[in-house]
Amino acid sequence: MIRPMNPGDRQAYISMAAAFYASDAVIRKVTVQVVESVFDDIMAGSPHIEGYMLMDEAGAGAGYALLAHSFSQEAGGRVLWVDEIYIRPQYRGQGLAKELLSFVKEHYAGKVKRIRLDVEADNEKAIALYEKMGFVPLNYQQMIIDLSSTASHDQ
């Protein structure tokens, strides 16, 4: 089951985000203060970020997803970024990421022009799933500059 985050999800989300950012799935780490701030933005109804909980059959938190909104002239309008998907290790391989991506595609059909995500080049299982779900590679190299003092510069 997939549902929007609610205030009672704070600790579960913070715990899972800490595990996500301690993993090899990310290049750049973030602090717990950043994770807490994102949760607060979600709870405040920010138009830029949405948070979803992925639940197991018993209703326990099995993972989370963050969706971010942007705009692209190249895409011809609104773009939805699947910013983060995290699934706890014991729930991996059970179809939760596929369920999430199906939900996103259905929920945002007609509302956005493009759904976009990024993935580590060596994450072959995720890439295979994304391709199976219809995602195609964009041959762009992403570049960033952090303007916030809260961003970590560990590489």
Residue 40 carries which side chain, given as an amino acid letter? Answer: D
Name the E strands within 26-136: 49-55, 61-72, 77-87, 114-117
Question: Which pTM value belongs to this model?
Answer: 0.88
Q: Which domains, and CATH codes, for the chain?
A: 2-132 (3.40.630.30)
Q: What is the pLDDT of residues 126-138, one digit of tens each?
A: 899 999 999 999 8
Q: What is the pLDDT of residues 98-132, one digit of tens each?
A: 999 999 999 999 999 999 998 888 888 889 999 99
